[in-house]
Structure 1
Amino acid sequence: MSYWMKSLLLLLFLFAAGVQADPLQKSFSDWQLTCNNAAFCVARSFPGDNGLVMTLSRHAGVDDRPLLRIDYGSAYTGELPGASLQDNLLLDQRLLKPDLKHWSVEPHHLATSNPIAIDEFLAQTLDADTLQLTWQAKAAVSLHGMKAALLLMDEVQGRVNGLSAWVKRGDRVVWDVPPQPALPRLPAPLPQPAPLTHDEASGLIDYGTWRINTDSCSLDPMRREVSVAPLTDDKALLLVSCETGAYNVIDLAFEVTRSQPYVARGLTLTLPFTPASRSDNQLELVNAEYDASSGFLYTFSKGRGLGDCGIATRWQFDGNEFVLAEYAEEKTCDAWHSSDDWPTLWVSQSETAPQSR
């Protein structure tokens, strides 16, 4: 085969590999790996409620921007008392003295984005069992599953048998990796609608409370809550609480004309992928909030009351339906991070917003 044919096939391979990535979230012993549709992957140890967690993240493509972190203390605990990490880490019961020349060093936080420093650290830890504190034995990171999680990360990003792989390294040059998949583009935001008048809001709330079809709701009509917001200059979004639990409320959503006679159309949320935690791609509107100024609809499904696990999504209205902008999920309930820091399975690229009125 001629050189130019080989080059063409390589380019076609890289293009095809970079078109899309299937989101995933998977556990390996005591590690969890999450990769989104841009093939950005995050692997972290769990449980985090013992105080100490190790995290590795990496983007797809040549510009991989790797990051390795070791943190003691979470978003829920805040800073914890105790000596600094750099002098008090045990690796399989032996004092670990990493070369921290290219690390950011704080008393309870160590981080590096230097590829050589990360490689050196992984060379010591990939086949080890435990990383823990000298003065707090229960503050430990189990390393069981880290190697398998990083191997799958390498596979997702097309690094296996290459010099950039973290686990199964070969002699393929560093730049010989698929590019980052292109992000899906959101539709251009609609012009900001005129606010609802008092009469419009009152009429729509009355309609949503007593006359819209909510036969599938288990919640007693007297206990249902109705909220309304402008979608466009002639349509409104009506949210009706349908089921409620200790910390989650499930709504039904309707697109309704802003003037009488009211005409309603049910709206659903359809994911462009099927998460591993679900059997289908239809998402309920849990704890839904709509921002009329941006056209974004937010949902936040708590796995438990603390809010340290669950599903958070953001959707944009395109004039006919809501299109997924972002999907984040944390299935491990271990009091490590809040929804602002949950790993993403879906991200998108926004179009330029139109000017407000």
Structure 2
Amino acid sequence: MRRRTGTKITSISKLPALAAGFALLSTAAMAEEMKEFRDWRAGCDNVMQCAALSLPKEDDSAIAYLRFERSAGADAPAALVLRVLGDWKTPSARVELKLDGVAFPVSAEAVETEAGSGTLSLTFTPAEVAAFLEAARKATLLTVDAPGMTATVSLSGSVAAMLWIDEQQGRLDTTSALIRKGKGTKVPAALPLPVTTAKAAAGRLSDADKKALTTAMREALTRQGEDLCEDDEVLSDSDEAWPLDGGRHLIDLACSRGAYNLTTAFWLIQGKDVATAKPVHLPHGESDTDNTLVNADFDPKTGRMEFFSRGRGIGDCGIIGSFAWTGDAFTRTGFSMMGECRGIAPVDWITLYRSTVK
């Protein structure tokens, strides 16, 4: 079995090779929040779709975890999935579950999440979800027996996490509550997703024009005494520039590189005059003026920008986010995070902001 050593990230600013000023989350900068409940983490996004995760222990050699998710609205179903990590020889396997030593029957086999991913996923039926949540009120440990391995999942904090989700979604004392049920039936409806219309870049620059713009931008920063970007030929080979509408250009400079993180800074300029450069507003943490992203990728054909700030090389912790160019600014379109390095795949991280991008 593969062993993953756990690491807790107390602040994104402490992730290796990240630009100064990054932080996991600031309630001043974001209305969304993430909560700790012993061995569980929970969070809700901007439309009150909430998720909760169990955290494997830091010294676990066999890793399994539960992921719960539920959208807002009285009729929204609750979803629960079990992930089991291992070196599987087959795309599916029968797993046996026990709650404090008592068998908990499930109707389906665990199947590989993605070919070659090394992760088996077991999706609970609606009836199994309800039965599991009821049993979790008293149980403390889920034991997972799979071919060639046994893993455990702590349930400590799970009930508190579900109760918190009920509270965020306005379900307390209603018939749709997960934990504190009542006779009430009024539950706030789900909020509509924000809609952003992305605008593609106006074209592309020749290699010579791109080099001239990025070189001029670096020289301007040097004259201004800015030390944001390292003066390194290898880094400068990754510099980019794109023409936007209205004669504006987007410039990105590769500022620093670590073992698995590349920090890039972004500016908008009028025409080709770097003296007009203004930092691109990319809110993603404590600072609302930071124009740096880690492992960023701008797609000029769609006007969309994504980033993935890794907490460590295997990418099981950090932050993931996205922006879209609207013709006026880069608007945040997505944000998810995982503050502890415990083998949890990015697809399962807690989403704190989502939107629809056209």
TM-score interval for Structure 1 and Structure 2 normalised by the shorter chain: 0.7 to 0.9
Q: CA RMSD in A?
A: 2.8
Structure 2 counterpart of 1:286: 294
C-alpha distance after superposition, 1:260-300 (max 9, x if no partner): 586322223125xxxxxx54445532222211111112222
Give yes or no for contact 2:143–2:150 (8 Å, CA) kept in 1.
yes
What is the match of residue 250 of structure 1? 263
Counterpart residue number, 1:181: 191
- In 2: Cα distance, 1:38 partner to 1:29 partner: 25
**Corresponding residue of 1:275:** none
Q: Deviations over 1:29-81 (max 9, x none)?
A: 111112111111111211176322122111000341321112322xxx45378
CA distance in 1, matches of 2:40, 2:270: 49
Once the two structures are superposed, the pairs formed by residues 29-108 of structure 1 within 5 Å of their partners are 29-47=38-56, 50-73=62-85, 77=86, 79=88, 84-85=94-95, 88-98=96-106, 100=107, 104-106=108-110
Q: Any unmatched runs of 5+ in structure 2? A: 1-29, 112-119
Aligned to 2:344: 336
Closer, same or farther: CA 46–234 of 1 in aligned 2, 3 Å = same
Q: Does 1:123 align with 2:134?
A: yes
Of 205, 208, 218 in structure 2, the residue corresponding to residue 196 of structure 1 is 205
Identity of aligned residues (%): 26
The answer to whether structure 1 residue 25 and structure 2 residue 34 are counterparts is yes
> Is it true that 1:314 corresponds to 2:322 in the alignment?
yes
Q: 1:3-14, aligned counterparts within 5 Å?
A: none
Deviation at 1:134, TM superposition (A): 4.7
Worse-matched range after superposition: 232-241 or 262-271: 262-271
Equivalenced residues, count: 311
- Cα separation, 2, equivalents of 1:255 and 1:61: 41
Where do 5+ consecutive residues of structure 1 fail to align? 1-20, 272-277, 352-357
Structure 1 residue identity aligned to 2:157 = G
- Assess, with a 3 A threshold, how the Cα gap between structure 1 residues 151 and 261 changes in structure 2: closer, same or farther: closer
Query: Secondary structure at 1:139's aligned position in 2?
Result: strand
Give the Cα–Cα distance (whole angstroms) in 1 for the partners of residues 132 and 300 of structure 2.
Answer: 48
The aligned counterpart of 1:133 is: 144
TM-score, normalising length from structure 1? Answer: 0.78
The alignment partner of 1:263 has SS state of strand
Structure having the higher Rg? 1
AA matched with 1:269: L
- Equivalence for 1:264: 277
Asked if structure 2 preserves the Cα contact closer than 8 Å seen for 1:89 and 1:132, the reply is: yes
- Counterparts of 1:96 and 1:260, CA distance in 2: 67
Greater shift, 33-42 or 48-57, is seen at 48-57
Cα deviation, 1:301-343, whole Å, max 9, x if unaligned, reads 11112211111111112233211011111112111203x4432
The secondary structure found in structure 2 opposite 1:215 is coil
Say if 2:313 is the partner of 1:305: yes
Equivalent residue, structure 2, for 1:4: none
Aligned twin of 1:349: 356
Taking a change above 3 Å as real, the CA distance of residues 144 and 235 of structure 1, as seen in their structure-2 partners, is same
TM-score normalised by the chain length of structure 2 = 0.77
- The one-letter code sitting in structure 2 at the alignment partner of 1:344 is T
- CA–CA separation in structure 2 for the residues paired with 1:219 and 1:239: 11
| Matched-pair contact (CA < 8 Å) for 1:200–1:258 | no
Corresponding position: 1:296 with 2:304 = yes
In structure 2, what residue type is equivalent to 1:332? Answer: E
Shift of 1:218: 5.3
Q: Contact 1:127–1:147 at 8 Å: present in 2 too?
A: no
When residues 311 and 229 of structure 1 are mapped into structure 2, their CA distance, relative to the original with a 3 A threshold, is: same
Task: Give the number of the structure whose residues are more often strand, by fraction.
Answer: 2
